[in-house]
Amino acid sequence: MSEAQVISLGCRLNISESEQIRAMLAKERDLVVVNSCAVTSEAVRQTRQAIRRARRANPDARLLVTGCAADIERDQLAAMPEVDGLIANTSKLDARAWNIPPEAPSAPQDRTRAFIAVQNGCDHACTFCVIPQGRGPSRSLTIAQVLAEVERHLDHGAPEVVLTGVDVTSWGHDLPGAPPLGELVRAVLDTFPQLRRLRMSSLDGIEIDPLLFELFAHEQRLMPHLHLSLQHGHDLILKRMKRRHLRGDAVDLITRLAALRSDLAVGADLIAGFPTETDEHHAANLSIIRELKIVHGHIFPYSPRPGTPAARMPQVERAEIKRRAAQLRTATTQARDEWLTTLVDKPHTVLAERDGTGYTPHFARVSVPEGTPAGSIIAVTPTKHENGLLE
């Protein structure tokens, strides 16, 4: 291999950081970096699998691992014969950790959307989560730093910007005056009138401030795609997860927002089979999909993470967890299909990707005409949908 290869697993924040690592290591040769994930036991398994695949494909390269698993599962990954070294997750954007001289930021890669990590780390203590162990406490970029990053990507033609982080709605809590996230979003939109599409990563609904709510409700350049870090639909399970919201909080938020923005598309993370979950709790998890009209569902079968309080709670049988996860996926697929039906025979503005598809503002995936340049925004009127794709 001639140039450094970066393999990214997990969240959008990892995607953003992988792009920065790739740019930083652009002059390195015969190097493979696995930017790992540890959010679930399955994510760790996939990380180990990716490491083995990368070694088979690049037997002579130096293979380094960073990301959350490099901290949380450090001993296990270090023991893998395929791994030549580990880079601490908190140091992976520091050139010194890679033994290379710091330089001015390289030009962003030619991507259809720019992921900008405005925040990192987490101050919360959800009983199922190990991410604070891998990411550390919450820390925010200043507004000036975010604006500089947005400008850099816009100068290189990015048609859409995505603001991302570990716990995005905690942005600003550690800055002087503790500005709310809405203030940052407003600054981005006001500073860059040429920015056509601004999208938010997963948000904690209970921390959406009044200004951000108003922007979601009325600002057309802020995409009508709200993905909630919801996790469950039953109050008792939410309390045992140590979440800060209840079911009614999510319902109230979406009801108020959808009344003001009719094209709103709702996404959510949901965990199946959390410890102590009964049939009644699972039924509430299923029903919230219908109540909130969740069309972008991320379903996670619960897996215990060593060292977390949830791992010490009474566990649901693995077979039952899989069954419940399958039911949640079926419910979200049905909700998505019904939603896609309402989008047929209507014009949509679509941001074209490189694979012959693109995305509407509410993140419906659409087939685009052959030869459409990636990164262009075009009008498409689909006539049908199949397998989650508007055509």
The answer to whether residue 103 sits within a structural domain is no
The answer to whether residue 119 sits within a structural domain is yes
- Clarify whether residues 81 and 201 are in a common domain: no
Supply the CATH number for residue 299's domain. 3.80.30.20
- Clarify whether residues 260 and 381 are in a common domain: no
- Clarify whether residues 333 and 355 are in a common domain: no
Q: Are strands 160-164 and 197-200 parallel, antiparallel or unpaired?
A: parallel
Average of per-residue pLDDT values in the chain:
93
- Clarify whether residues 236 and 299 are in a common domain: yes
- Clarify whether residues 142 and 25 are in a common domain: no
The answer to whether residue 104 sits within a structural domain is no
Total-model pTM:
0.86
Q: How confident is the model at residue 4 (pLDDT cuts 50, 70, 90)?
A: confident
Q: Which domain holds residue 293?
A: 113-342
The answer to whether residue 311 sits within a structural domain is yes
Q: 37-83 pLDDT, tens per residue? A: 888 888 888 999 999 999 999 999 999 999 989 888 888 999 999 99
- Clarify whether residues 293 and 328 are in a common domain: yes
How many CA atoms does the CB half-sphere of 182 hold within 13 Å? 14
Q: What is the pLDDT averaged over residues 141-150? A: 97
pLDDT number for residue 380? 96
The answer to whether residue 102 sits within a structural domain is no
The answer to whether residue 106 sits within a structural domain is no
The answer to whether residue 1 scores a pLDDT higher than 70 is no
- Clarify whether residues 88 and 129 are in a common domain: no
Q: What is the pLDDT averaged over residues 154-179? A: 95
Question: Which DSSP symbol is given to 159?
Answer: S
The answer to whether residue 91 scores a pLDDT higher than 90 is no
pLDDT number for residue 105? 54
Ranges of beta strands (E only) in the chain are 5-8, 31-36, 62-67, 85-86, 113-117, 119-120, 139-140, 160-164, 197-200, 225-231, 265-272, 294-301, 348-352, 357-359, 365-367, 377-380, 385-386, 389-390
- Clarify whether residues 71 and 218 are in a common domain: no
Instruction: State the CB neighbour count (10 A cutoff) for residue 7.
Output: 18
- Clarify whether residues 16 and 65 are in a common domain: yes
- Clarify whether residues 32 and 53 are in a common domain: yes
Q: Longest C-alpha distance within the chain, in Å?
A: 58
- Clarify whether residues 46 and 169 are in a common domain: no
The answer to whether residue 107 sits within a structural domain is no
Q: 313-371 pLDDT, tens per residue? A: 999 999 999 999 999 999 999 999 999 999 999 999 999 998 999 999 999 999 999 99
The answer to whether residue 103 scores a pLDDT higher than 80 is no
- Clarify whether residues 358 and 334 are in a common domain: no
Last residue of a domain, one of 43, 68, 97: 97
Total structural domains within the chain: 3
pLDDT number for residue 206? 96
Supply the CATH number for residue 19's domain. 3.40.50.12160
